[in-house]
Amino acid sequence: MVSLRFLLCFLLFLASSVYATIVSHDGRAITIDGHRRVLLSGSIHYPRSTPEMWPDLIRKGKEGGLDAIETYVFWNAHEPTRRQYDFSGNLDLIRFLKTIQDEKLYGVLRIGPYVCAEWNYGGFPVWLHNMPDMEFRTTNKAFMNEMQNFTTMIVDMVKKEKLFASQGGPIILAQIENEYGNVIGSYGETGKAYIQWCANMAQSLDIGVPWIMCQQDDAPQPMLNTCNGYYCDNFEPNNAKTPKMWTENWTGWYKNWGGKNPHRTTEDVAFAVARFFQKGGTFQNYYMYHGGTNFDRTSGGPYITTSYDYDAPIDEFGNLNQPKYGHLKQLHDILHSMEKTLTYGNVSTIDFGNFASATIYKTEERSSCFFGNVNETSDATINFQGETYVVPTWSVSILPDCKTEVYNTAKVCLFCYIQLLRIAINTQTSVMVKKPNEAEDEPSNLKWSWRPENMDNFLLKGKGESTMRQLFDQKIVSNDQSDYLWYMTTLNLKEEDPVLGKNMSLRINSTAHVLHAFVNGKHVENGKFHYVFEQEAKFNPGDNVISLLSITVGLPNYGAFFENVPAGITGPVFIIGRNGDETIVKDLSAHKWSYKTDLRGFENQLFSSESPSKWSGDSVPFNRTMTWYKTTFKAPLGSEPVVVDLLGLGKGTAWINGNNIGRYWPAFLSTEDGCSAECNYRGAYYAEKCQTNCGEPTQRWYHIPRSFLNPKGDNKLVLFEEIGGNPSFVNFQTIGVGGVCANVYEKNVLELSCDGRPISAIKFASFGNPRGNCGSFEKGTCEASKDVVDILTAECVGKEKCSVNVSTEKFGAPECNVATRSLAVEALC
């Protein structure tokens, strides 16, 4: 007789087998339940948004044609103190993965746990660095134990919730380590042994889906090695059974304080994707699809901005970045329509010369073609199967039936309806605008109160929490619990000391990201990273208190041995006296130094709604260093994303209702050179290409998630200003689509959408041969016989979206004959 226990186990096995997804691979593609797949994925990092934003972001990813959402796992966020874990709020990894599952998308879980990601310390907790005999990312027993502990914990959490595909969940791939191949040479033979250990450790966790290693040409089997970069069409896996996979297609670039706005054109991103699939790729992930915000102290660097917009298809605030989002959606739909041909078809190529080529995928049912032109200066004319095709410079044309071109990466401003594929192609250019806060009873000028940061103990007494006769790296002392660390010493000078005189200075060899120096309570000066700071200072006979405030602006996140890059004041520190031709140097490095982590205002949580501290509303000072400011405001009306304009302030930190929205630094301007009004998409992209915002603050507007706001009552903004600024210019705005543009060829369908808002007016419309670009359209030499503006006003105004056939029947025949007629439209939202 079969036992009851056996029967129950058998039924459980059957139940799990029914819902399990089998993920495997061959040299052509990732296979899911036995079917080879074309997979489009996008990176959305859960800590860079809020749980309230996740459903909308992931839904927009799905609507944009993605199959999967990718995220890193951030060790230092989840284990800020050893063996003390945090998965609350926007760190709720499981909730994020389940949100992906709710949208019936796949997940790609990049555990690392080194992530880079322009994230503070590359995702490593600083307590790890401070453990005895610690070395990162090598065969160091202490490091491997901690890495395995965290990785195993994450895997166990995900298994418990049955979120791996092998359990019926969404996760089809997991990653161990990250871009180690870029630095492995610096670690020698121990680096090779370490990467083998990583592979063995990961495989032992038995997750039932493949593991990947990006940028790791020597990835041990069965790890799948993948490519990261702007272009990966020439990447070849290290094993015949590994499909060609691209884990990071950089859709833009990040910003540094003092840097300009980077921009990677829509045409170039689409070109890179199409070229990758033309040359045999079957899995591609956008880094980033939504960049988001580096809230609190999470940005890396040093000097990475609070905004992590990345010029991604979905912008920092959650709005669609058009035309990039729409143009890529078209590409995704077309690639999906060719999935079977791309993953099972026989492949052949034709080289037409002058950097032009055709790639043909052929099955018994159909053939699909890519025509690629990698020439940076001239179009290519291709003769193929008795037909002539023109492929623009630096572009790829796609012909799903090898006859009709339905997509070209360089043709962005076309709205078409492709009957062949039944794909509505709707790429519009959206014009984003910021609007003032229109909340009821909101005063035009905010009412401010203030209080100084209490620094007397540090400036006048030099008293800290610990004392040592050595200058230590800031990471060792503060454990990265704060950006701020005081280094203080008292120097007794006798009247006859030769260093005393009228011409004296303080010289500091510093690796502080920002340094404020005080002598006897007087602010001497401030400076920035990796420099020799020297400034005149007045010293007196007797005791002199030297107080140095070291400030970090994100710890390094990339490179071999990056964990050992010093931060703070590691010395030496000198007093310099000059008497005529004689220079006397007094080294203070081995003096008794007192240390104090953080500032009083942070410790007393002046930013908290419950803080009982007293504030003054009288004679609010401007341009005062080390000052706290507070005001209240009404939440802007509506549902559009909210930003705060901090122009006029210097450098500091901002809180909304106790939520830290990140560091601000509008006083840090980019240089005047390096920007251009024109941006040529042709040719390989690099981070300095197509930059804008020269001579302006690197970041002026800061994101306030709606979930941080009280929609009905008062909201509190608190600022800690380090270097001096004027808060009277601070204001709140909403950001959304202010207008949309399109340029549509005849016999196609115009589709306009204001992303949930009504179309309010048709600013410009012309059918014939209009010229110009969005915002600067103008009529050409031919114009339709009917009033195009009136027709579109009747069809579209008052609606959230509209569709109009572009034809002479609709708009009337233009007055002269032109080979190609088009409709140019600019609408207001």
Q: Which residues are catalytic?
A: 179, 248
What are the backbone dihedrals phi and psi of residue 739, each rounded to the nearest 5 degrees, phi first? -170, 160
Q: Per DSSP, what are the bridge partners of residue 714?
A: 634
Joined together, the tokens standing for residue 25 give 């691979």
Q: Could you give the CA distance from residue 290 to residue 293 in angstroms, rounded to a whole number?
A: 10
List the one residue out of 159, 224, 167, 155 whose CA is nearest residue 22.
167
Write the CB contacts of 641 (distance below 8 Å, at least 6 apart in sequence): 317, 318, 319, 703, 705, 706, 734, 735, 736
Task: Name the nearest CA neighbour of 826 among 772, 780, 765, 783.
Answer: 765
Beta bridge mates, 44: 290
What span, in angstroms and rounded, lies between the C-alpha atoms of 512 and 527? 9
Rounded to whole angstroms, how far apart are CA atoms 98 and 163? Answer: 8
285, 309 Cβ separation under 8 angstroms? no
Give me the DSSP letters along 543-559: EEEEEEEEE-SS-B-SS
For the chain, give the number of residues: 829
Vertex 814 angle, CA 812 and 819, to 5°:
120
DSSP 314-366: B-TTS-B-TTHHHHHHHHHHHHHHTHHHHHHSEEEEEEEETTEEEEEEE-SS-
DSSP 213-266: EET-TTPPTTPEEEEEES--TT---SSTTS--EEEEEESS---BTT--B----H
Tokens describing residue 308 = 């992590």
What are the CA-CA distances from residue 127 to residues 63, 121, 479 (Å)?
A: 41, 11, 6
User: Hey, what are 362's tokens?
Assistant: 């052929």
The Cα 511–Cα 672 span in angstroms is 27
Residue 747 has φ and ψ, to the nearest 5°, of 70, 20
The residue written with tokens 């800690």 in the block is 720
Residue (of 242, 297, 240, 232) closest to 271 by Cα position: 232
